[in-house]
A and B are shown apart, each in its own frame.
Chain A
């Protein structure tokens, strides 16, 4: 079992998606609990790659293939987690703002958050401002994460923050990111946090929910 978990960690970290899928299935078949597979098989691999990214040892390509391998594993595990009624401690509502269809970076952020054991509700791309607070209410979320890749859709990020603040969801934290976004812009639109990449997005989310690593 331990060997399988270790191999799964390596498969995720090095982005071997067929391996990741096969190993996850074997672990499920061997009777291991899905939550344990996530915590011991996926989280260490994703946090290792996140650490390496922060230390400048790997770049976006390696992150993307690791996320893709993790996704294969999650396709098997997510229905089982839902069946078992497992709810992660913290939930993040994630989406790309209205008018914008870019989602590769957003999906990577989502995978890293899942890899740190957050529940992630992904609303997809081109999401209306009002959908974010509505989803936060429905899922009892703690954080809303917004992505924008176009300078022309940055204003939609502001509209979304305004819609969240005007809604009945209180005390929710909003984090923002995407290539044209900066800390200055985050402050300007009244969001609670910005991070430039998917690895530091995890630290930011943890900080926003009051946990540190």
Chain B
């Protein structure tokens, strides 16, 4: 990954103007993922002058343009600060739902999956039941934070916060997504007669323009959790029809999981089954004899590449698979892309952890063994794995991944505990989300990311949230949804007695007991 240099005597020395804002407006948006609060390292730049060509990096979001050096030569933007514009969400899904076949009718349906990181949409032709187009793009809200809570903070601490979040979602994200879908299907916007949207409550609240204040601190009180129909006058999209928001389960367990439960066929699974969505919020749904248990584990963005030295969301130019042959690294890029590898996807990190355990240079606590040839000391003298000239993995990266892994694994174990089940009792494991797509299930089993279930009970479901939103364009599927909502208990893991213990146990790289 190369740094970018902006020759910048051009920046106005205006007081009150933040360097990060100026760069954003001049086509160089940075990774301001903490919402511009000066907490992360996503907007580090170096301000080079003739006297100091290589000064220490500083945060652009905390740099007032009035304070820039008079003899500024150029602004160097570190590769890790360049906002990832190539984010590609997954739009493929499988519909395993065994519901009634919807009757043909006139019209075109729009299904939306509003994820924290990416959004995706699908257009359906009702008379034929055919998929007309699908597309995805990054959620432009990311400039206000890479996790929901950072965005909620942004919304509640600034007078115009909610409006800016809403604008980023509706105007900068959903509107172009819908345009793209319509262009692919060669249809005018007036053709769309019905629309559904799945997403976590914070996303659906911003779409509806509802206050996020109730989602900020415990006890959480969302404005709405059940479904809601947002009329054309309120959704601010060009659509002439309302957008039906699919009901969610809890303040952080959104309708992406309800929709996913429908699309994956989990409702009809024979025996205990688990659905895990490896997004930032790590939502989990367990089907057991008595009903359903749902929770969110707050894994953070590590599996989407967030907060890791060379992490990136799986997209063109990103390593999706890692292998080692004859002690040499064999990184493979996301299929269909070429060029120098721009980063490592979550799936590639899982490969690395599993290979490290197998070859013995990584211990169960996530420490590298300096005696092994694969392990070297970086310029910072700390141990690391060097995969190529630019790609490497450090022990702190591994620690971050292990926390995310522990949160998800401990969440799943805790739901199993509450239902009186063991991982071996599971008949199916549905893995939702883009992360699952490139993942090697054997590696996920080896490091204890997945509960130990037989390999053939693992189903990589793709974007099951988009699949479920598509199914819910049809009234025929409403009864199944109602039944799921009725029989689900949401678990607050903080109040579950075994969670903390499970978390500690899962902070090691052993298979899931």
Contacts and interface: CB of A to CB of B under 8 A. Distances in A.
Interface of A: 56, 58-62, 64-65, 68, 98-104, 107, 125-126, 150-153, 156, 180, 182, 184
Q: Tell which of A103, A104, A152, A153 has the most Cβ of chain B within 10 Å.
A: A152
22 contacts: A56-B395, A58-B365, A59-B367, A61-B366, A61-B402, A61-B504, A61-B507, A62-B365, A64-B507, A68-B504, A99-B216, A100-B218, A101-B492, A101-B495, A126-B218, A150-B149, A150-B217, A151-B149, A151-B153, A152-B152, A152-B216, A152-B217
Contacts of B255: none
Interface string B122-157: 000000000000000000000000000110110010
Contacts of A98: 217
Contacts of B463: none
Interface string B463-506: 00000000000000000000000000000101100001101100
B87 interface: no
Contacts of A153: 217
B39 interface: yes
B131 to A, nearest CB: 39
B365 A61 contact: yes
Contact of B395 (A59, A100, A102): A59
B175 interface: no
A65 B399 CA distance: 15
A182 B500 CA distance: 25
A182 B504 CA distance: 25
B260 to A, nearest CB: 26
A72 to B, nearest CB: 12
Contacts of A182: 39
B494 A60 contact: no
B403 interface: yes
A99 B504 contact: no
Contact of A152 (B37, B149, B365, B402): B149
Given A59-B399, A61-B365, A126-B218, A152 B156 contact: yes
Contacts of B365: 58-59, 61-62
B509 to A, nearest CB: 9
Nearest to A152: B216
Interface string B32-51: 00000111000000000000
Nearest to A102: B494
A58 B363 CA distance: 12
A182 B34 CA distance: 13
Q: What are the 5 closest A-B residue pairs judged by CB atoms, nearest first?
A: A99-B217, A101-B494, A61-B507, A152-B216, A151-B153
Given A100-B218, A125-B494, A152-B152, A107 B508 contact: no
A151 B156 CA distance: 11
Contacts of A152: 149, 152-153, 156, 216-217
B34 to A, nearest CB: 8
Interface string B323-352: 000000000000000000000000000000
Contacts of A180: 39
Contacts of B501: 68
B504 A100 contact: no
A101 B149 contact: no
Contacts of A126: 218
Contacts of B503: 64, 104
Contacts of A65: 504
Contacts of A64: 503-504, 507
Nearest to B493: A101
Contacts of B153: 151-152
A93 to B, nearest CB: 21
A107 B501 CA distance: 12
Contacts of A100: 217-218
Given A151-B150, A182-B39, A60 B217 contact: no
A60 B403 contact: yes
Contacts of B38: 184
A142 B39 CA distance: 30
B218 A60 contact: no
A104 B499 CA distance: 10
B151 to A, nearest CB: 10
Q: Tell which of A102, A104, A156 has the most Cβ of chain B within 10 Å.
A: A104
Contact of A61 (B217, B218, B508): B508
Nearest to A59: B399
A182 to B, nearest CB: 7
Contacts of B217: 98-100, 150, 152-153, 156
